[in-house]
Amino acid sequence: MSPSLKPFLSVSIIIFTLLAIVFLKMEVRRAGYSLLKDSRQYKVLVEQKRAQEMVLAQLVRPERIETVAQKQLSLQKAQKGQIVQIAGSHIVLQN
C-alpha cells in the first residue's frame, strides 16, 4: 500500500464509521416512533373491542332476547298448567 493512500483510506474509514453510526441512530429513532404509533393504535383497537363486547352483551341478554321473541316472533309465554309439546314439525298446545 502506498504512503499517499494511507491518509485517504483512514479518513474514508472514519467517515464511513460516522455515517454508519448516524444511520443506526436514525433507524433506532424511526423504530421508536413506529412502536409508539403501533402501541397507540393497539390501545384504540382494544378499546373498540371492549365497546363491541359491551354492545354484544347488551344484545344477547336474556331480557332483550325475550322481548324480541315476543314482539317480532309472536312468542307467547306459557300459562300456568299449560303443556307445550313439540314433535317433528307439529306443535301441540294443551291446557
Residue 64 confidence (pLDDT): 87
All residues at 6 or more sequence positions from 57 whose CB lies less than 8 Å from its CB, including other chains: none
Cα four-point dihedral sign 85, 86, 87, 93: positive
* Integer Cα distance of 20 and 25 in angstroms: 9
Query: What pLDDT score was predicted for residue 91?
Result: 59
Question: Whole-prediction pTM value?
Answer: 0.55
Q: Do the beta carbons of residue 72 and residue 81 sit within 8 Å?
A: no
The one-digit pLDDT tens for each residue of the chain (95 residues) are 677 888 899 999 999 999 999 999 999 999 999 999 999 999 999 999 999 999 999 988 988 888 888 888 877 777 777 776 676 666 555 55
Residue 76: left (phi > 0), alpha (psi -120 to 50), or beta?
beta
Give Dmax over CA atoms of the chain in angstroms: 114
